[in-house]
Amino acid sequence: AQSVTQLDSHVSVSEGTPVLLRCNYSSSYSPSLFWYVQHPNKGLQLLLKYTSAATLVKGINGFEAEFKKSETSFHLTKPSAHMSDAAEYFCVVTTGAEDSSYKLIFGSGTRLLVRP
Amino acid sequence: DGGITQSPKYLFRKEGQNVTLSCEQNLNHDAMYWYRQDPGQGLRLIYYSQIVNDFQKGDIAEGYSVSREKKESFPLTVTSAQKNPTAFYLCASTRAASYTGELFFGEGSRLTVL
């Protein structure tokens, strides 16, 4: 069965420093993986997605993620944090072909705090 | 602009009352979903619908009901049987259930039981 683990519930960085949000997944099939961002009391917005093309995926707002099959990881990075990046981030894997339900499995989220 | 509209944004309910949360989309998407969000638990799937007049239970369907009479509408009823209904509810849609692309979300409805 698919699962996704976000290794940090909170990450705090200073403005202008790099961001690393960690995600590990478990999947019997080649997974589709996503990162979503949620600002307070808002819905979720897609940052980027991996669907078996290039392993380095570039998203919006300068974020990128690298799919590493050997490590079963899909970590989210950004070279330089901005105050507007403060939000909650979710790593997501699809169930896809395993059970034909095509449900999304969400990680528990990582709250990113950006210090001035 | 195309998107998903959820209403109401905030809702208060007394114990024992049923409430219905509205979700409307004008994206012409076939698949629609309801998620519940609690602090520190990510999103959990309540119900989903892959096509009009058909829907399936998700992981936490007990105490909830849905209908899908029109393609653009997928209302969620939180019944009095739901033991802990205070939460943030998110509606989402995608082009088709098998489509591994973007899931579009509404802005959510926050339900508080008094």
Minimum-distance CB partner of B40 among A34, A46, A108 = A108
pLDDT value at A101 more than 60: no
DSSP state letters, chain A: --EEEES-SEEEEETTS-EEE-EEEE-SS---EEEEEE-TTS-EEEEEEESSS-SEEE-GGG-EEEEETTTTEEEEEESS--GGG-EEEEEEEE-GGGTS---EEE---EEEEEE-
Cβ distance of A106 and B43 shorter than 8 Å: yes
Chain B: give the shortest CA distance to residue A32, in Å: 7
Please identify which residue in the block is written with the tokens 């519940």.
Answer: B36
- Confidence bin at B103 (pLDDT 50/70/90): confident
Interface touch B103/A44, C-beta < 8 Å? yes
Q: Do B100 and A41 touch (CB under 8 A)?
A: no
pLDDT at A16 over 80: yes
Q: Summarize pLDDT for B21-77 with one digit per residue, the tens.
A: 999 999 999 999 999 999 877 899 999 998 999 999 999 999 999 999 999 999 999
For residue A30, what pLDDT is reported? 74
Give the Cβ contact number of residue A112 at 10 Å: 21
Q: Is the pLDDT of residue B9 over 70?
A: yes
Q: How many Cβ pairs closer than 8 A exist between chain A and B?
A: 58
pLDDT of residue B90: 95
pLDDT value of position A97 = 55
**C-alpha span between A43 and B92 (Å, rounded):** 9
Residues 47-106 of A with CB under 8 A from B: 49, 51, 90, 94, 96, 101-104, 106
End-to-end CA gap in chain B: 36
Evaluate if residue B98 carries a pLDDT over 80: no
Residues B14-30: b if buried by 16+ CB within 10 A, e if exposed:
eeeeebebebbbeeebb
Structure tokens at B49: 């619908």
> Residue B15: pLDDT above 90?
no
Q: What pLDDT band is residue B95 in, cutting at 50, 70 and 90? A: confident
Nearest by CB to residue A46, choosing from B90, B99, B102, is: B102
C-beta pairs of A51-55 under 8 Å, 24+ apart in sequence: A51/B100, A51/B101
Between chains, do B108 and A41 touch, taking CB under 8 Å as contact?
yes
Partner residue opposite B108 with nearest CB, options A42, A101, A109: A42
Better pLDDT: A29 or A69: A69
Task: Say if the Cβ atoms of A43 and B108 lie within 8 Å.
Answer: yes
Cβ of A9: how many Cβ atoms within 10 Å? 11
Residue of A nearest to B56 (CA): A101
Residues in CB range of A38: below 8 A, 6 or more apart: A44, A45, A87, A88, A89, A90, A109
> Would the pLDDT of B100 be above 70?
no
